[in-house]
Amino acid sequence: MGKTIAEKIFDAHRVDNPSGTIQVISLDRVFCHEITTPIAINDLVSRGKDRVHNPENIKAVIDHVTPAKDSKTAEQGKILRDWAKRNNIRDFFDIGKNGVCHAIFPEKGFVRPGFTVIMGDSHTCTHGAFCAFAAGVGTTDLEVGILKGVCAFEYPKTMKVNLTGDLVPGVYPKDVILTVIKTVGVNGATNMVMEFTGPVVDGMSMEGRMTLSNMAVEAGATSGICKADMTTVDYLWPFIKSDFASKEEALAAYAQWNADSDAVYEKEITIDCASLRPVSTFGYKPDQVKNISDFENTKIDQVYIGSCTNGRIEDLRQAAAVLKGKSLHPDVRGIVSPATPEIFSQALKEGLIEIFMDAGFCVTNPTCGACLGMSNGVLAAGEVCASTTNRNFNGRMGKGGMVHLMSPASAAASGIAGVITAAQ
């Protein structure tokens, strides 16, 4: 019987099978940020176990509130910084070099097909775009991952998500994943891994695939995985070229992780993406999704472009293409946060930052800040935001605020119009 991607990865990483369907797997990567890691660090210190299993496998970044906004966030940064230093964690990204975790770690080539990855952050599923098993966990799982290099999971069941058809202009990966979540529901994939497949995924860049995988958790999924192909190899090539004689050889090595043709899936859905139109969420759940053409005069106060979902260079290009030569509506504030310094730098070179600034946007440093209402663009009660982020929960971007999730192009168009609008 054939295997899914997640099954192959689990079978290659099994350390223990303590009972039933629970498997303890070895970890190739433990990613850390300054919000969920400090309590794990303090606990390890208090237990007299201030050590790490393998400093090479641990990567850390200060990204949620950066630069620090107050004494508490400064302390969180300090705990992470000091810990990284004393435990020889060389890949630690601090101010000037830091970016949103799920954008900067892939950019640095830290994730490879077949890897197992955990982080104390639910959007860790993003890294599944590289044909990896990547899952968000809590601080205790993170702590054990740091100390022992292992984590326990249910042996994965997989939902196959077939994405067929050609996307029409104005429809982006964000529209696709919001439609998937609408179709599956916010807990439709709970305790399952989503495997995204089909011509729509085949035609997507790694940036687009990361947007898909990023929001798998909004349907409850443990991870969102895409197969390894030449697009994966091309993206990783600068980091792997000394490991393989050619890209073809790299692909042959990575393709071993791809699902077998006779793999058995727990569930299978197919979405004809040719019929999709630009969408946005309404309400407070990410499965409350409808076509933007069905919104009637929904005024916005802020547009936010950034985050681990849509803060990458392609996202900025798509938004800038809509904004070029235009201005934000006078009643709308615009904030754009390139997700990493490299993306920021590239956007500067391409003239995208100028387009944003000419349109009236505030350009901020890379940070998660506004997406979860921690800093850098928090909403006041009653305010409405057209946002490229991933959660529209009550209070998510600020108590009493309303968040509408959409693609960067739609967010830009809404910023110009002052009401929720799709790009023309």
Partner 1 sequence: MKNFNGNALFLDRSDINTDEIIPAKYLTEITKEALAPFLLEDLKLKGFDPSKNLEGISVIITRENFGCGSSREHAPWALEVNGINLVIAENFARIFKQNMFNCGMMAVELPSDTIDDLFAGFAGTGAVVSTDFEQGTFTFSHGELKKTVPFIVSDFNRDLVLAGGWVEYADKKY
The site for partner 1 (CB under 8 A) is made up of 15-16, 18-20, 22, 24, 35-36, 38-39, 42-43, 47, 49, 64-65, 70, 72-73, 75-76, 79, 120-122, 124, 136-141, 143-144, 147-148, 150, 152, 186-187, 190-191, 220, 222, 284-285, 372-374, 391, 393-396, 399
Nearer to partner 1, 221 or 250 (CB): 221
Measured from the CB of residue 310, what is the shortest distance to partner 1 in angstroms? 18
Nearer to partner 1, 209 or 391 (CB): 391
Measured from the CB of residue 325, what is the shortest distance to partner 1 in angstroms? 36
Nearer to partner 1, 163 or 289 (CB): 289
Q: Phi, psi at residue 142, to the nearest 5°?
A: -60, -45
In the chain, the largest separation of any two C-alpha atoms, in whole Å, equals 61
Measured from the CB of residue 181, what is the shortest distance to partner 1 in angstroms? 12
Distance CA 382, CA 300 (A): 10
Residue 396 token pair: 């998510």
Measured from the CB of residue 376, what is the shortest distance to partner 1 in angstroms? 12
Beta-carbon count within 10 A of 203 CB: 12
Q: What is the DSSP string of 360-406?
A: TEEE--S-SGGGGTSSSSPPPTT-EEEESSS---TTTTSTT-EEEE-
Nearer to partner 1, 83 or 356 (CB): 83
Query: Please, what's the b/e burial string for 368-385 (b: 16 or more CB within 10 A of its CB; e: otherwise)?
Result: bbbbbbbbbbbbeeebbb
Nearer to partner 1, 39 or 230 (CB): 39
* Contact by Cβ (8 Å): 40, 34: no
- According to DSSP, residue 26 is labeled E
Cα 22 to chain centroid distance, Å, stands at: 26
Nearer to partner 1, 20 or 382 (CB): 20
Nearer to partner 1, 304 or 344 (CB): 304
* Contact by Cβ (8 Å): 204, 212: yes
* Contact by Cβ (8 Å): 5, 44: no
Nearer to partner 1, 31 or 115 (CB): 31
Residue 276 token pair: 């999709």
Measured from the CB of residue 51, what is the shortest distance to partner 1 in angstroms? 12
Strand pairing partners for 336? 305, 363
Nearer to partner 1, 186 or 269 (CB): 186
Measured from the CB of residue 417, what is the shortest distance to partner 1 in angstroms? 29
- All residues at 6 or more sequence positions from 305 whose CB lies less than 8 Å from its CB, including other chains: 311, 315, 316, 319, 334, 335, 336, 337, 361, 388, 408, 411, 412
Q: Three-state SS for 134?
A: strand
Measured from the CB of residue 24, what is the shortest distance to partner 1 in angstroms? 7
Measured from the CB of residue 165, what is the shortest distance to partner 1 in angstroms? 30
Nearer to partner 1, 59 or 329 (CB): 59
Measured from the CB of residue 338, what is the shortest distance to partner 1 in angstroms? 21
Q: Three-state SS for 122?
A: helix
Burial class (CB in 10 A: 0-12, 13-18, 19+), 70: exposed
Q: Phi, psi at residue 43, to the nearest 5°?
A: -70, -40
Measured from the CB of residue 37, what is the shortest distance to partner 1 in angstroms? 10
Nearer to partner 1, 128 or 373 (CB): 373
Q: Three-state SS for 66?
A: coil
Q: What is the DSSP string of 292-351?
A: GGG--S-B-SEEEE-HHHH-SHHHHHHHHHHHTT----TT-EEEE--SSHHHHHHHHHTT
Measured from the CB of residue 137, what is the shortest distance to partner 1 in angstroms? 6
